Structures are given as C-alpha cells and as structure tokens.
C-alpha cells in the first residue's frame, strides 16, 4: 500500500502541449492585433487625408464594439458553444454593416468619427485606475456615452479640427490596444472590462502606465502630423 505521504503523479507538459498552446496564442491574437495596429495607425496619421476609408472604419469599430459589449453581457456563465466563432462572426458582420452605413450616410458617418474619438478617450480615462477611474458600471457607461456624444456633436460644428483630433485620439488608443495584444501588459484588459466583460478584471501596473503614456504621445504626434499634412485642406 502506498504511504499517506505519497503525492499524486504530476503530469508535466510535453513539447507538443507547448507547441499547441503557442499555436493557439498565435491563432487567437495575431489577426486581431494586426488589424488594430494597422487601422489604428491609419486613423492616427491619415484620418483626414483618407476620409472615406476612415468613415468605413469608424462605423466598423463602433458597431463591432457595441456587438462585443452586448455579447459580453448576454454570454452565459459557461460560455457560448464555439465561442470564438460566435465572437468573430458577430463582430465581422456588425463591422461590415456599420462601415457600409457610415459611408452611405455621410453626415452620420462624420458624427460616428467624432463619437469614435470621444468613445476612445473615455476608455483611456477609465484605464487610469485599477477597476476603472469610475468604479460603477453605470458611471462607466455614462462617461462613454457622454464623451462619444461630445465628439460626434463637435464634428458637426467644427469638422475641420474635430476630424483631425478625433481620428488621432481614437486611432492612437486602438493602436496601443493592438500592441498590447502582443505585449500583454494588461492594458488590453481595460477595453474588455469596460465594454461589459463579466469575468474580466483590470489592474494597473508600471507597464500599463507605460502604455497609457504611450497613448498620449502617439495621439499628440498624430494630431501634429495631421495638421501639418492637411493644412491646405478645405
């Protein structure tokens, strides 16, 4: 008989287990990270020059973001069956519909770009503190909605300036989120948590604050570049 001190055998990961995990990481993250970085940089530095493309992307981001938030809210505790396919399928469908609507309805699209900038700024403000600078979920939603409306309304009255500023701050935010998909500092978790993730937690750290500071630098740089490259634009 084995003695009471005998421990159960420990199953060590094999090389295949490690390779499978690495492949899963790549499959789950690389597409999302690349999309966020490429489109984010486009917004940041060429938002005004490539307006039609940015109209589509603004609608795509907003509709996909809302769809993601809804899915996070209604997802059962044990998760959706084939969870990845549900999130990607619904997200892509929402993005295509939102992008097409914004291009077709130009004024609505311009409002969406302004809302995109305000919405991104709200997510950054919330990320300044663990759990959110505003702890209440209701308060977080109010901040996001209010700043999105401020950005959208600003676009209707001071379009020439608002389009540069809103695309730069929105693009910078999603560029940093895309970078963090790979860097894994925890900054990415803020977006998931503030968009309704039931099991997602967000904690700040020195690395996260580095990403937050990087966002400010990138946004300011984007605004400066856009003003210099489009100073003669009407």
In this predicted model, what pLDDT tens digit does every residue of 110-124 receive, in sequence order? 888 898 899 899 999
Q: Which long-range contacts (CB under 8 A, 24 or more apart) does 126-129 make?
A: 126/190, 126/194, 127/187, 127/190, 127/194, 127/202, 127/204, 127/208, 127/212, 128/204, 128/212, 129/204
Burial 7-20 (b: 16+ CB within 10 A, else e): eeeeeeeeeeeeee
Global pTM value: 0.76
State the Cα–Cα distance between residues 207 and 77, nearest whole angstrom: 31
Average pLDDT value for residue range 33-59: 88
Q: What are phi and psi of 144, to 5 degrees?
A: -60, -45
Every domain of the chain and the residues it spans: 30-229
DSSP per-residue letters across 116-134: HHHHHHHHHHHTTSTT-SS
State the Cα–Cα distance between residues 2 and 213, nearest whole angstrom: 58
Comparison of pLDDT for 22 and 162, the residue scoring more? 162
Q: Which of 91, 157, 150, 81 is nearest to 122 (CA)?
A: 150
Q: Give the pLDDT confidence of 140-192 residue by residue, as tens digits.
A: 889 999 999 999 999 988 888 999 999 999 999 989 999 998 888 989 888 87
């Amino acid at each position: 008989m084995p003695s009471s001190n005998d421990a159960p055998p420990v199953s060590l990961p094999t090389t295949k287990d490690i390779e499978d995990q690495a492949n899963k990481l790549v499959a789950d993250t690389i597409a999302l990270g690349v999309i966020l970085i490429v489109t984010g940089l486009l917004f940041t530095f060429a938002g005004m020059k490539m307006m039609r493309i940015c109209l589509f992307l603004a609608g795509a981001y907003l509709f996909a973001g809302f769809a993601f938030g809804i899915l996070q809210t209604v997802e059962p505790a044990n998760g959706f069956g084939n969870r990845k396919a549900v999130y990607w399928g619904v997200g892509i469908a929402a993005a295509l519909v939102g992008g097409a609507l914004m291009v077709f309805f130009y004024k609505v699209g311009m409002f969406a770009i302004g809302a995109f900038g305000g919405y991104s700024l709200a997510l950054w403000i919330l990320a300044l503190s663990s759990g959110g600078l505003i702890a209440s979920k209701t308060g977080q939603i109010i901040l996001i909605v209010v700043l999105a409306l401020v950005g959208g309304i600003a676009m209707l009255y001071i379009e020439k300036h608002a389009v540069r500023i809103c695309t730069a701050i929105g693009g910078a935010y999603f560029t940093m989120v895309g970078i963090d998909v790979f860097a894994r500092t925890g900054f990415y978790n803020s977006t998931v948590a503030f968009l309704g993730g039931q099991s997602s937690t967000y904690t700040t750290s020195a690395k996260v604050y580095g990403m937050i500071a990087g966002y400010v630098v990138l946004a300011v740089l984007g605004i400066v570049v856009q003003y210099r490259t489009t100073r003669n634009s009407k």
